[in-house]
Amino acid sequence: MGSKGLLIVISGPSGTGKGTICKALLNRNDFWLSISATTRTPRKGEQHGREYYFLDKDEFERRISSKDFLEYAKVYENYYGTPKSEVLEKLEKGKDVILEIDIQGGLEVKKAYDEAILIFIIPPSIDELTNRIINRGTETEESLRIRLNSAKSEIKCSKKYNYVVVNDTVENAVNKIESIIISEKCKIDKVKEDIDNEFLNN
Ligand code: 5GP
């Protein structure tokens, strides 16, 4: 039975460890991680075409006008966007696609593509979240304050997501996400066309 792939959106406040979770998820499964475009400057060690497609503002805005993005958002003064054509192509080919994007982007994806599954990663506690952001070592005091405040308002939006996964350990979080994906694939809406084709229309 060959159906379309699942579009899985993974979001959460910065410092929740969603990057680590996505890496572990990709190591263990044959999923495809969409590479976003952004106008922010690359951090040390980041490469064009690996972490992001790093574009300048004019090029990003040109692509907005050409409707090249499934969604885009302004996060901390920079644009971030999900390239549309590659994602839709992979889904058509039956590949499961992971989008690691911010919450406003996740909600936009749901509007554009109703079957998307939105998973919100949440830290075990507010203290844990603060420590994780500080330990990343890339934040100034001001950007830490901005990220914490924005984390709190984002956590409010978790209720608009389909699932919430607490990141107590990476192993637990990845197990839970895999279970969600397996259940979603077994849902009747996902398989009824295949059942008709395979067993009933002959
Ligand atoms: P960072 O600059 O730390 O890599 O990412 C900042 C935020 O932008 C994160 O919350 C990340 O999930 C989000 N982000 C990354 N790519 C996209 C995207 O394509 N669209 C949206 N809406 N947000 C994104």
* Residue % of the chain over a pLDDT of 90: 75
Residue 15 covered by a domain: yes
Q: Which residue minimizes the CA distance to atom 15 of ligand 1?
A: 101
Residue 62 covered by a domain: no
Kindly provide the residue ranges of all beta strands, DSSP E only, lying in 115-162, ordered along the sequence.
Answer: 117-122
Cβ distance 13 to 106 under 8 Å? Answer: no
Per-residue pLDDT for 33 more than 80?
A: yes
Per-residue pLDDT for 62 more than 80?
A: yes
Q: For a pocket test of ligand 1, which of 80, 86, 108, 153 has the largest count of ligand atoms closer than 8 A to its C-beta?
A: 80
- Asked whether 73 lines ligand 1 (CB < 6 A), one says yes
What is the pLDDT confidence band of residue 134, given thresholds at 50, 70 and 90?
Answer: confident
Q: Which residue minimizes the CA distance to atom 22 of ligand 1?
A: 105
pLDDT at 147: 82
Residue 81 covered by a domain: no
pLDDT mean over 81-88:
96
Containing structural domain, residue 155: 7-34+95-200
- Asked whether 68 lines ligand 1 (CB < 6 A), one says no
What's the total number of domains in the chain?
A: 1
- Asked whether 101 lines ligand 1 (CB < 6 A), one says yes
Determine how many CB atoms are found less than 10 A away from the CB of residue 84: 19
pLDDT mean over 124-138:
84
Tell which residue, 19, 54, 23, 4, has the closest CA to residue 132: 19
Which of 40-54, 135-149, 156-170, 181-195 shows the lowest per-residue confidence on average (mean pLDDT)? 135-149
Cα–ligand 1 centroid distance for 2 (angstroms): 31
CATH code, domain with 143: 3.40.50.300
pLDDT mean over 19-35:
96
CA distance 20 to 26: 10
What is the pLDDT confidence band of residue 175, given thresholds at 50, 70 and 90?
Answer: very high
pLDDT at 173: 98
Q: Which residue minimizes the CA distance to atom 19 of ligand 1?
A: 81
Q: Which long-range contacts (CB under 8 A, 24 or more apart) does 125-130 make?
A: 129/13, 129/15, 129/16, 130/15
Residue 44 covered by a domain: no
Distances (CA, A) of 102 to 90, 187, 193, 200: 21, 26, 32, 42
Residue 109 covered by a domain: yes
Q: Which residue minimizes the CA distance to atom 8 of ligand 1?
A: 102
Residue 1 covered by a domain: no
Residue 146 covered by a domain: yes
pLDDT at 148: 86
Residue 85 covered by a domain: no
